[in-house]
Amino acid sequence: MSERPLKVGLVGGGKGAFIVHPHQRAINMDGTRRVAAGALFPDPQVALEEAENWPYPIKGYGSYDEMIQDQAKLPEEERLDYILIVTPNFVHFDPAMKALEAGIPVFCEKPLTVNLEEAEKLVRKVRETKIPFAVAHTYLGHWTSRLSRYIVRSGLLGEIRWVDAYYIQGWLATKLEETGNQQASWRTDPKRAGLSGCGGDIGTHALMQLRYVTGLEVKRVSARLETFVEGRMLDDHFTAYCELSNNGKALVRASQICIGHKNDLGIEVAGTKGALRWRQEDPECLVVHLNGQPDRVYWRGAVAAGDGFLPADMPQELLDEITLPSGHPEAFHDAFARLHRSFEADVRKYKAGQPVVCDGSKYANVEDGWMGIAFIESCVKSSKSDGAWTEVPPLP
C-alpha cells in the first residue's frame, strides 16, 4: 500500500461536541492521517451544514449509515481507512458493527457499548474478521503509562499487592444537566449513557489504567454506586473494592462531585519491592519508591536504560516512542496522537494483508472494551446487593 495519509471518517462531532476536537488534532498531528469525511450530527441537514463549516474541507454525510454504505462501494484505495466514533455511548455499537460489516477498521470512544450483549457481539465480529479495532482509553497513550507498564510487568516492583486507580472530577457537583449543558445531559441519562454514570464514564478509564499497567484482571468486586446530587438518575460517585487475579487487592474509584478535582486520573501500584505513582494532570513524570532508597523521578525523554533500576536491555521500541525532547511538555493531545499513531501502524498492516496483533499493548482493543462493560455491570449488580462480592465474568 502507498504511504498516502490514512483517511479517517468521523461519526459524531458537530455542534458543540467535545472529544472530537482533541481527536482530530491528534489525527492530523503527524501528517500521515487526516480527517476526510464525517457524519457529524443526528439530523441529516445539520450534519451536512456542520461538515461544510468544518475547519478544513471534508466530505459531509447526512448519516453514518449513508457514510458507511457509500464508502463500502468505493475501491479499496479510495475508501476511508478507519472510522472514529465520538458519539454518546448509546451510539457506539451500531456504527461500529456496521463499519466492521463493511470491512472498515474502527476507533471507538469508551465505554465500548451500553451493555455486555452489544460488547460481546463486537468482540465476536472482530475475532471473526480480524479487523483492527481500538477503544479510546486516552491515558494509555502517555509515554509514562508505557514506562509504568514496562516497570510493573517486568517485575521490577516485585509481586503486586495493592493498586489504587482513580479518576476524580468535580464538574457534576451541581445539577448541570438542568442547565442545558450538552455533555452533562446525556452522561446523566441512563438511556444514553448506560447502567452507570460516573463509573461508566470515568471509572472505566481508571480500570483500564490498572489493567494496562499491571496486566492483572479484576476477579471480584464489592462496589457502591452513589448519587449525591438529588434527583440525578445515575451515580455520580463510584467505588469498587477489587480482588485481583494474583490475589492482590485494588480500589477502582471515580467521582464527579469532588469540587476542585478536574481530570484527576492516577494510579499507585504497590509491590513487594517497591511502588509507583503517576497522575495524568502531571503526566510527564512518574515516581518510583524503592524500600530504603531515595525516591526516583523518571521524566519522559530523560530515561536511561541500565541506571541501577531500569535494566540495560530495556526494549528499544519503548525508548523510541518518545516524540519530543524532555522538558518540552507532552500532554492530552500527544497521548491521543500516540494511540492514533499505533492504530495507524496496525491499519496499514491490515490493508497490506499482513497479520495484525491487536493485543492491547499500544491501545485498548475490543476485548479491553468488553472488560470495561463487564466490570461496570458487575459493580452495578454488587451495589444493588449492598456491596456483596460479585464475580466479574471472564472474556467470552
Q: Does 14 bind ligand NAD (CB under 6 A)?
A: yes
Angle between helices 204-214 and 366-384 in degrees, nearest 10: 120
How far apart, in whole angstroms, are the C-alpha atoms of residue 187 and residue 249?
A: 29
The minimum distance between CB 215 and ligand NAD, in angstroms, equals 21
Please, where are the H alpha helices in the chain? 20-28, 44-52, 64-73, 93-101, 116-129, 143-153, 182-187, 190-193, 198, 204-214, 316-320, 332-351, 366-384
Q: Map grid coordinates 469525511 to a residue.
A: 37
Per-residue mark of binding to ligand NAD, 194-213 (x: CB under 6 A): -------x------------
- In this chain, which stretch among 37-45, 155-163, 234-242, 301-309 interacts with ligand NAD, using CB under 6 A? 37-45
Q: Does 278 bind ligand NAD (CB under 6 A)?
A: no
3-state secondary structure 147-169: HHHHHHHCCCCCCEEEEEEEEEC
Per-residue mark of binding to ligand NAD, 133-172 (x: CB under 6 A): ---x-x----------------------------------
What the block records as the C-alpha cell of 200 is 461508566
The minimum distance between CB 39 and ligand NAD, in angstroms, equals 5
Among 6, 11, 165, 198, binds ligand NAD (CB under 6 A): 11
Q: Say if CB 61 and CB 38 are below 8 A apart.
A: yes
Q: Does 12 bind ligand NAD (CB under 6 A)?
A: yes
The minimum distance between CB 143 and ligand NAD, in angstroms, equals 17
Q: Does 89 bind ligand NAD (CB under 6 A)?
A: yes
Give residue 127's identity as a one-letter amino acid code.
R
Q: Does 26 bind ligand NAD (CB under 6 A)?
A: no
Q: Does 17 bind ligand NAD (CB under 6 A)?
A: yes
Q: What is the largest CA-CA distance in the chain?
A: 65
Q: Which is nearer to ligand NAD, 197 or 274 (CB)?
A: 197
Residue number with the smallest Cβ distance to ligand NAD = 12
Please tell me the count of residues contacting ligand NAD according to CB under 6 A: 26
What the block records as the C-alpha cell of 99 is 463499519
Q: Which is nearer to ligand NAD, 138 or 255 (CB)?
A: 138
Angle between helices 332-351 and 20-28 in degrees, nearest 10: 60
Q: Does 188 bind ligand NAD (CB under 6 A)?
A: no
Give residue 189's identity as a one-letter amino acid code.
D
The minimum distance between CB 17 and ligand NAD, in angstroms, equals 3
The minimum distance between CB 11 and ligand NAD, in angstroms, equals 6
Q: Map grid coordinates 532508597 to a residue.
A: 293
Cis peptide before 283 (omega within 30 of 0): no
Q: Say if CB 246 and CB 159 are below 8 A apart.
A: yes
The minimum distance between CB 312 and ligand NAD, in angstroms, equals 35
How far apart, in whole angstroms, are the C-alpha atoms of residue 297 and residue 185?
A: 40
Q: Does 369 bind ligand NAD (CB under 6 A)?
A: no
Q: Does 28 bind ligand NAD (CB under 6 A)?
A: no
39-68 residues in contact with ligand NAD (CB under 6 A) are: 39-42, 64
Binding site for ligand NAD (CB under 6 A): 11-15, 17-19, 39-42, 64, 86-89, 91, 109-110, 136, 138, 182-183, 186, 201
